[in-house]
């Protein structure tokens, strides 16, 4: 069976704390044994074992440097930094007097316990006693594994100014970089007035015309291609012809006052004068089925009908919390409760992952999402580069290349070589990575003064537009970043379901955080409709660009910003005003004839 994976990571913005304070801090330390080394995971077991030993030895050396320079960790209040308390661990102290004793820095994702295997006693070869090292397995909070990146190994080290100087200048250290704090990139309007959902219906317009009687249908969407009802204004056969979708589903989506981003991405803005905007969402019935979308975000609460796994149907899907943050590391969830609900600490809405809910719902919610049948996987990650790289590594080890889309919705005013390299590594391995252009209203493609994710090579980057249509054009959102590295724009206005925290049923949200999950959702539906195509980053970028609507966004921040609007393949416009003569309102969108000069 053909299995497809979409990976999806949220947009975070990195705060830049430019070396103001000289506090002790976590750093990513890149250790390179030999520039001719290959990528760890691709190498033989014996190669990995020798590399494990090399890395563990260097981590021991680094630990010793920290131990010998404890005094440099004394804080302004005269106290020794609490993080160094572990140096007093009795077991570790033993090694001071014994050069044959070393710490085994436990590596959970790529086990290195083999280092403790002593040469077998029945071996013919005489092994000198002095070669036997006593390993003390230990999980340190000041020196620990992160993951392999390209041909080097990234570890995390807690450094003072003095140890930074010493350690970062060791000949096997490729670079050191500070772990930046990240922030969420969306606004959730939870204070707004209560609004009621009007109604919604989903009509699977299958080939089988009489298949609809078990569904509650909106009058206007009561339809099948051969029906003669006068109230049907859209034409399923025309949609099939245009999109090549196998089956077409139509969702009539009517939330008064809420942004209708779903309708927007399934039709062109070429509305005839005086006609009413079509608010339906048209999508391929495969709807991402069999595709996994991964999110790195604040968490998820999955046992809720706003997601729906369609239990017992032929298109039942998985929605799970796969991994969470514990002790500043990403670990797989174990208990069944953990797999249903995960929430990071330290968010505004304590115990309620509202950003994660918004993002997952836009990508794959039953009601408010694009890929309604895709599997949704949450990695609840706290806001730091280290944890995001750790999350990427978790995905790398648990998902399938060439069948995976990753949406990174984080920006970085602090540049991370480790994050960039890890992203490039995943792209090379066949994963598709989509990143948010972020919401600083700047050209994010220049490397200076700040370095934003979209500027990183290899990613598909997404900017935001507002959902209101003016004279058949959309306005780029005031907050969105722009520049020639932004591949595509998508609606930044979205709607989030309340899963228990807010007073009202739905909440308005906006930000580039919500433009990217739309792109990930469309990518998932493209993949579920084309199960035999092996998508990679470049093919997906090309497909999204080919499908996009050109030159319909005004107010882009620079002339070189590509004017492309996300579209799922359906561009024909149907207006509810036209149901008596449906073809009167069809406007077949032809990209090669509608190019107009961009106004800035
Ligand atoms: C990826 O998804 C997040 C939402 O989680 C969004 O903020 C971000 O902008 C997306 N990335 C891109 C490039 O669109
Ligand atoms: C690096 O690897 C190459 C090829 O395996 C080897 O010839 C060379 O001696 C190594 N260099 C070092 C410094 O270990
Ligand atoms: C389209 O829908 C019909 C009716 O439900 C179903 O039998 C058929 O398998 C679907 N085709 C595809 C390609 O999904
Ligand atoms: C969409 O977002 C913009 C901010 O870019 C906001 O001003 C506008 O009110 C939002 N529209 C809707 C329908 O929520
Ligand atoms: C759901 O997860 C199970 C277990 O990993 C897997 O066998 C099954 O194929 C998944 N379902 C879908 C629709 O991908
Ligand atoms: C943009 O991001 C910044 C930093 O996270 C945040 O303060 C601001 O509210 C965000 N604005 C929008 C419109 O998303
Ligand atoms: C689109 O326009 C081009 C150029 O005018 C034309 O050759 C092509 O046939 C048109 N395609 C459709 C589907 O109308």
All domains in the chain, ordered by first residue = 21-179 (no CATH), 288-565 (3.40.50.200)
Going by alpha carbons, the residue nearest to atom 11 of ligand 2 is 34
The percent of residues above 70 in pLDDT, for the chain, comes to: 76
With a 6 Å cutoff on the Cβ, whether 36 touches ligand 2 is yes
At CA 430, angle to CA 389 and CA 248, rounded to 5? 110
pLDDT at 580: 54
Give residue 48 CA to ligand 2 midpoint distance, Å: 15
Q: What is the full DSSP assignment across 431-456? A: EEEEEE--SSSSBTTS-SS---GGGS
Helix, strand, coil fractions of the chain, as percent rounded to 5:
25, 25, 50
Going by alpha carbons, the residue nearest to atom 13 of ligand 2 is 34
pLDDT at 576: 76
Q: Write the DSSP symbol of residue 553.
A: E
Express each pLDDT in 417-441 by its tens digit: 888 888 888 888 888 888 888 888 8
Ligand nearest to the CA of 209: 3
pLDDT at 2: 36
CB 75 within 8 A of CB 160: no
Q: What is the full DSSP assignment across 2-20? A: --EEEE----EEE----S-
Side by side, the strands of the sheet bearing 199-205 are 199-205, 248-254, 280-284
The distance from CA 14 to its chain's CA centroid, rounded to whole angstroms, is 15
With a 6 Å cutoff on the Cβ, whether 467 touches ligand 4 is yes
Express each pLDDT in 3-27 by its tens digit: 334 444 333 322 222 233 458 999 9
Distance CA 419, CA 403 (A): 21
Active site residue 355: yes
pLDDT at 159: 97
Going by alpha carbons, the residue nearest to atom 14 of ligand 5 is 290
Distance CA 206, CA 222 (A): 12
Ligand nearest to the CA of 512: 1
At CA 429, angle to CA 426 and CA 430, rounded to 5? 95
Residues 6+ apart with CB under 8 A from 129: none
Nearest ligand 7 atom, CA 590: 1
Residue 208's closest CA among 247, 165, 258?
247
pLDDT at 180: 74
Express each pLDDT in 118-168 by its tens digit: 655 545 555 444 467 889 999 999 999 999 999 999 999 999 999 999 999
Per-residue confidence at 447, pLDDT binned at 50, 70, 90? Answer: low
Q: Which of 35, 36, 43 best tests ligand 2's pocket when mutated (most atoms within 8 Å of CB)?
A: 36
Residue 283 has pLDDT above 90, yes or no: yes
pLDDT at 234: 81
Average pLDDT, the chain: 80
Q: Which of 590, 591, 595 best tests ligand 7's pocket when mutated (most atoms within 8 Å of CB)?
A: 590
Question: What is the mean predicted confidence (pLDDT) over 541-547?
Answer: 96
Question: What is the mean predicted confidence (pLDDT) over 31-53?
Answer: 94
With a 6 Å cutoff on the Cβ, whether 313 touches ligand 5 is no
Between 587 and 490, name the one with better pLDDT. 490
pLDDT at 160: 96
Distance CA 507, CA 495 (A): 6
CB 251 within 8 A of CB 281: yes
Distance CA 495, CA 498 (A): 10
pLDDT at 561: 95
Distance CA 26, CA 181 (A): 11
Going by alpha carbons, the residue nearest to atom 12 of ligand 4 is 259
Going by alpha carbons, the residue nearest to atom 4 of ligand 5 is 318
Per-residue confidence at 399, pLDDT binned at 50, 70, 90? Answer: confident
Active site residue 297: yes
Distance CA 302, CA 321 (A): 8
CB 353 within 8 A of CB 298: yes
Distance CA 195, CA 193 (A): 6
CB 480 within 8 A of CB 439: yes
Q: Quick count: other Cβ atoms within 10 Å of Cβ 381?
A: 30
Residues 6+ apart with CB under 8 A from 174: 30, 31, 32, 152
Residue 385's closest CA among 141, 179, 176, 146?
179
Q: Which residues line ligand 7 (CB under 6 A)?
A: 590, 592-593
Express each pLDDT in 329-349 by its tens digit: 999 999 999 998 899 988 878
Between 436 and 97, name the one with better pLDDT. 436
Ligand nearest to the CA of 37: 2
The distance from CA 324 to its chain's CA centroid, rounded to whole angstroms, is 14
Q: Which two tokens stand for residue 486?
A: 């932004």
Of 213-217, 400-404, 481-485, least confident by mean pLDDT is 213-217
């Amino acid at each position: 069976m053909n299995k497809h994976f979409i990976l999806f990571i949220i947009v975070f913005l990195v705060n830049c704390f430019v070396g103001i304070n000289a506090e002790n801090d976590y750093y990513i330390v890149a250790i390179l044994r030999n520039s001719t080394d290959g990528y760890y995971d691709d190498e033989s077991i014996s190669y990995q074992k020798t590399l494990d030993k090399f890395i563990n030895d260097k981590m021991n050396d680094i630990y010793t440097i920290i131990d010998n320079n404890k005094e440099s960790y004394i804080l302004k209040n005269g106290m020794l930094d609490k993080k160094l308390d572990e140096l007093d661990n009795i077991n570790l102290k033993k090694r001071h007097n014994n050069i044959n004793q070393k710490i085994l820095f436990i590596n959970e994702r790529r086990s290195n316990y083999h280092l403790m295997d002593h040469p077998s006693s029945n071996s013919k070869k005489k092994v000198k006693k002095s070669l036997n090292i006593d390993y003390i397995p230990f999980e340190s909070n000041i020196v620990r594994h992160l993951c392999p990146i390209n041909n080097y190994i990234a570890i995390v080290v807690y450094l003072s100014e003095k140890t930074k100087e010493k350690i970062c200048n060791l000949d096997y250290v490729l670079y050191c970089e500070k772990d930046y704090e990240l922030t969420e990139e969306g606004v959730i309007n939870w204070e707004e007035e209560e609004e009621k959902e009007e109604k919604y219906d989903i009509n699977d317009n299958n080939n089988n015309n009489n298949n609809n009687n078990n569904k509650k249908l909106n009058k206007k969407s009561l339809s099948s291609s051969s029906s003669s009802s006068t109230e049907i204004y859209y034409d399923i056969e025309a949609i099939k012809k245009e999109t090549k979708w196998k089956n077409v589903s139509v969702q009539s989506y009517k939330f008064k006052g809420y942004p209708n981003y779903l309708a927007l991405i399934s039709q062109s803005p070429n509305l005839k004068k005086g006609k009413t905007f079509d608010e339906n969402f048209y999508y391929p019935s495969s709807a991402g089925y069999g595709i996994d979308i991964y999110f790195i975000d604040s968490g998820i609460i999955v046992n809720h009908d706003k997601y729906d796994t369609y239990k017992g149907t032929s298109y039942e899907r998985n929605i799970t919390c796969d991994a969470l943050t514990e002790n500043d590391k990403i670990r797989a969830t174990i208990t069944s409760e953990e797999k249903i609900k995960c929430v990071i600490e330290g968010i505004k809405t304590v115990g309620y992952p509202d950003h994660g809910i918004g993002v997952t719902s836009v990508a794959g919610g039953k009601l408010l999402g694009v890929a309604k049948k895709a599997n949704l996987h949450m990695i609840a990650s706290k806001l730091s580069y280290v944890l995001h790289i750790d999350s990427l590594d978790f995905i790398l080890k648990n998902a399938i290349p060439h069948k995976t889309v990753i949406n990174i919705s984080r920006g970085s005013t602090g540049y991370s070589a480790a994050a960039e390299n890890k992203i490039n590594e995943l792209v090379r391995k066949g994963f598709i990575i989509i990143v948010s252009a972020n919401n600083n209203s700047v050209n994010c493609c220049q490397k200076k003064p700040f370095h934003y994710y979209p500027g990183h090579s290899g990613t598909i980057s997404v900017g935001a537009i507002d959902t209101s249509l003016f004279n058949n054009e959309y306005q780029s959102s005031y907050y969105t970043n722009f520049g020639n590295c932004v591949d595509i724009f998508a609606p930044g206005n979205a709607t989030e379901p309340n899963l228990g925290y807010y007073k009202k049923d739905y909440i308005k949200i906006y930000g580039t955080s919500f433009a990217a999950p739309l792109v990930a959702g469309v990518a998932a539906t493209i993949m579920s409709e084309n199960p035999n195509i092996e998508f990679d980053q470049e093919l997906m970028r090309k497909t999204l660009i080919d499908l996009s609507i050109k030159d319909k966004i005004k107010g882009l921040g620079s002339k070189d910003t590509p004017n492309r609007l996300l579209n799922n393949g359906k561009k024909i416009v149907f207006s509810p005003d036209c149901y008596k003569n449906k073809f009167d309102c069809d406007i077949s969108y032809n990209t090669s004839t509608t190019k107009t000069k961009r106004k800035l």
